[in-house]
Amino acid sequence: MELIKELTLKEVQDAISAMPKGKAPGCNGILTEFFQEFINEISPTLLQAFSTMLRNGETSKLINKGFITLIPKSGDHAKLGNWRPITLLGSLYKIMAKTLARRLQVFLPSVIRPG
């Protein structure tokens, strides 16, 4: 079945290329632009790591780490209600999630009916 086949280098590279630029890095501090700049050097290692994680059914604790911070909404910033929490996820997590989401996207129309 196409959905559970081994990841390919092209899938990882396509996910890296599709990542938006200018986003805040996660707790590892590595920007998406770094992975895009060195895509040919890094993507084979990422493919190997992601494939191992999927085969073993578990991810690395480093990839799952997130950093929770507050960002201001409009209004008086002295009031707690005018802040909202967000989680900054690391680039590796984002790349792996994007790789899997892009593969899943092909199958969604066959399992979800329009509302």
- The amino acid at 88: L
Q: Which residues of 55-70 are buried (b: 16+ CB within 10 A; e: fewer)?
A: eeeebeeebebeeeee
Q: Which pLDDT score is estimated for 1?
A: 67
pTM equals: 0.83
66-110, pLDDT tens digit by residue?
A: 888 899 999 899 998 999 999 888 889 999 999 999 999 988 888
Cβ neighbours, 10 Å, residue 46: 21
Q: Which pLDDT score is estimated for 71?
A: 92
- Residue pair 27/66 in contact (Cβ under 8 Å)? The answer is yes
Q: Which pLDDT score is estimated for 64?
A: 84
- Residue pair 88/27 in contact (Cβ under 8 Å)? The answer is yes
